[in-house]
Amino acid sequence: MVGVSMANATVATNRERIVRVEDDVTALDTRVSALEVMHIEHMAKLDVLLKIGRTILAIAGATLGLEIGIEGGIV
C-alpha cells in the first residue's frame, strides 16, 4: 500500500484506492486490446511470408526439376 496502513483506512482513502485501481485496470485493458490487435496483424504478416516462402520453394523445385530433366536428356 502506498502510504496508507489498513488500520487507518477511511472511506475516503478506500475510495481513492478504488479509483486508482479502476484507472489501472482501464489502462491495462487498453494495453491488452492494443497487443491483441498487434498480434493479429503480425500473424497475418507471418501467414503472408509463409505463403511467399512456399511459392518460392515451389518455383525453385519446378526449376530444378526442369533443369534435371533437360540435363538428363528426358526433355
Q: How far from 72 is each of 14, 59, 60, 65, CA to CA, in Å?
A: 84, 20, 18, 10
- How far apart (Å, rounded) are the C-alpha atoms in residues 28 and 6? 26
Name the residue type at position 69.
G
Q: Model's pTM, two decimal places?
A: 0.58
Q: What is the pLDDT of residues 17-62, one digit of tens each?
A: 999 999 999 999 999 999 999 999 999 999 999 999 989 988 888 8
Backbone phi, psi, residue 28, to 5°:
-65, -40
